[in-house]
Structure 1
Amino acid sequence: MPVEKQPGRPFSLWIYLLIVFALSWPIQVAFVVWGQTELLSYSLSSLAMIMVTVGTYIAGRYVFKDSFADAGWSLGKPVHYVLVIGLGVLLWVVPTLAGLLMGSYSWPAGLLVSQVVLVFLVKFIGVLIPAFGEEFGWRGYLLPRLAQLHTPRKALLIQSVIWWAWHLPTVVGIGFMVAGTGAGAGAGVAVTVLAVVLITIVPSVMHAVIFSYIWAKSKSLGVATVYHAIYDSLREAMERTTGFAPITDLWTNVVITIIGLILLVKADWKTLLSGKSR
């Protein structure tokens, strides 16, 4: 995807990451340490996501003097939204239904479907702006610049690993939480945290591939943002209402990995990232 460039400092990945991580990682750490209530958890996690856009704007506007014209400002097509909503349902709702059919999961007594939908809608609205914060930075800005410096798949993988690495404070926090609950009993805190970190690498990198494909195929930050919001809000709504079926985590990670690998290998990334599929 071509990047319109004004006279300024050549793009530097390390300078860009320094700015974005410096603004957002401390907030992620605060989220892990102090995000004990729902309000603090939402506020800190959302602010960390928004800081990706703030850092991107500072880097692009004042350091590299870039244009943001090719970030993906079109709305996208209705079919794109239908497909990303369907993907969110496949990842989070289907395993719950499968658990009910297999008898390995029971619907909570007294819980109405309308209550689940309401929680989802509230969380979806609440996460839209933070989701845009990430998509503008990682997909709309970073990926096309990497694609000018590397082959399309190499650029894609670099961006995907960076996206995983950006989540590390939260992932490490989850590792400590797992160790604290005794789920990693006998392994020790350090080993448990390391295991959680390593387990997240492949699904996270493959999920970034999916995000990138959605953005590149639709040429729309709107579609990518809606998918991000659908994914996060469905996960949180179901976790807080129905609870996860025993197969949910495994199902979600396996499906993401399979779809990501297929897209990584089969998609025409040269065309997608050059903007020729407009």
Structure 2
Amino acid sequence: MEKSMIIKRGIHVGVFALVALSCGWIGRWLDTYVGRDATGSLGQLLWIAAPILTMLLLRGLAGDGWEDAGLRLRLRGNGRYYAGSVLFFPVLTLLVVGLGICVGWLNWTGISLRTYAEACAFALIPSFFKNIAEEFAWRGYLAPSLHRIGVPRLWSHVTVGLVWGGWHIPYLFLFTTTSEGMLTFLPRMLLGVVAMAIVYGEIRLRIGSVWPAVIMHTVGNALVNPLIAGEYLAIETKLQAVVMPSPDGWITMGLTGAVGVWLMLVRKKKKTA
């Protein structure tokens, strides 16, 4: 890529990041005037829609194009990545919850597994459509754009994770249940999101498609969000940071980070083979 194009795309990346990091706060400001109810708010709509709309404008009108947008499924030869995307969060959640129960750090509250399964199934469709918008912003624009302007692969994952995590902060209260102070919770949350960004980003850049990330994100939201919000687990307050099956839990974070590092090592090994 020519130097002028690198500069242009770098500026576009900065614009995208600025929109992503500010739209939630603008949304919160809107909510103070317009209000919100159980179905959401105008501010939340802006928060969800602004990154994907910015991506559409930058690709469609500002000249970034669609070559690296990851729109195609690319199923041929990539079945293992799609299978991994479906199974990643079920296996991860089972490991974390199973370990927590075995060592006595958490307990199932007694609500039936059927009720939990119904909650997961009910969450799948809205989560899928929400994550199309989310993933085609982060993995459909930011990740390949950083890669294309020459940012080293690991640092592109870290940057995506920090912007992605920062985007969550204004509406963090919608999907986080914690009695912990934000001074310690936020850095851990950002670290957990960076770990996820490495896994999502490695698969996305390797096969050139956003759809495995959409699937992985959808399955993760549908499994983990009801598990936490529905109070199916009883966890001691002092152990929540360790065993919570959400991305901010230390065990979840460690396992996710290990998978991300493994994916990077396998890629480097194949590259040098």
TM over 0.5: yes
For residues 117 and 142 of structure 2, what CA distance do their matches in structure 1 show? 34
Whichever residue aligns with residue 224 of structure 1, its letter is A
Aligned Cα RMSD in Å? 3.9
State the SS of the aligned residue for 2:233.
coil
Partner of 1:72: 70
Identity between Structure 1 and Structure 2 (%): 16
Retained in 2: the 8 A contact 1:23–1:55?
no
CA distance in 1, matches of 2:215, 2:71: 13
Q: Secondary structure at the match of 1:167?
A: helix
In structure 2, the partner of 1:59 is: 58
Please show how residues 26-105 of structure 1 align to structure 2 within 5 Å.
26-27=26-27, 37=38, 39-40=39-40, 48-63=47-62, 65-75=63-73, 76=75, 77-102=78-103, 105=106
Q: Name the amino acid aligned to 2:223.
A: L
Determine which of 252, 255, 267 is the counterpart of 1:255. 252
CA contact (8 A) 1:120 1:233 kept: yes
Q: Is 1:231 aligned to residue 230 of structure 2? A: no
The one-letter code of the counterpart of 1:74 is R
1:82-231 correspondence to structure 2 within 5 Å? 82-102=83-103, 105-109=106-110, 111-149=111-149, 150-171=151-172, 173=173, 183=179, 192-231=181-220
Q: Do the aligned partners of 1:210 and 1:259 also contact (CA within 8 Å) in 2?
A: yes
The answer as to 2:232 corresponding to 1:243 is yes
Structure 2 unpaired stretches of 5+: none
Structure 1 23/60 Cα, relative in aligned 2: closer, same or farther at 3 Å? farther
For residue 25 of structure 1, report the CA deviation from its aligned partner. 4.3
Taking the aligned partners of 1:136 and 1:146, their CA distance within structure 2 comes to 14
CA–CA separation in structure 2 for the residues paired with 1:89 and 1:211: 16
* Alpha-carbon offset, residue 114 of structure 1: 2.4
What is the number of residues matched between the two proteins? 254
Contact 1:210 / 1:263 at 8 angstroms: preserved in 2? yes
Q: Which amino acid aligns with 1:126?
A: P
Counterpart Cα distance in 2 of 1:32 and 1:115: 35
Please identify, of 240-249 and 158-167, the stretch whose mean Cα deviation from structure 2 is larger: 240-249
Offset at residue 100 of structure 1 (A): 4.2
Unaligned 5+ residue runs, structure 1?
Answer: 185-191
Report the alpha carbon displacement of residue 238 of structure 1 after superposing the two structures with TM.
1.4
TM-score (normalised: structure 2): 0.74
- 1:57/1:193 Cα in 2 relative to 1: closer, same or farther (>3 Å)? same
Residue identity opposite 2:90 in structure 1: V
Shift in Å at residue 212 of structure 1?
A: 0.8
| CA 258–237 in structure 1, closer or farther in 2 if over 3 Å, else same | closer
Residue in structure 2 matched with residue 187 of structure 1 by the alignment = none
CA apart distance, 1:46:
6.5
What's the CA shift for 1:197? 1.7
Whole-angstrom distance in 2 between the partners of 1:156 and 1:138: 10
TM-score normalised to the size of structure 1? Answer: 0.73
CA deviation after TM superposition for structure 1 residue 162, in Å: 1.5
User: 1:159 offset after TM fit, Å?
Assistant: 2.0
Question: Is residue 264 of structure 2 the alignment partner of residue 267 of structure 1?
Answer: yes
Tell me: CA distance 1:31–1:126, structure 2 relative to 1, closer, same or farther (3 Å): farther
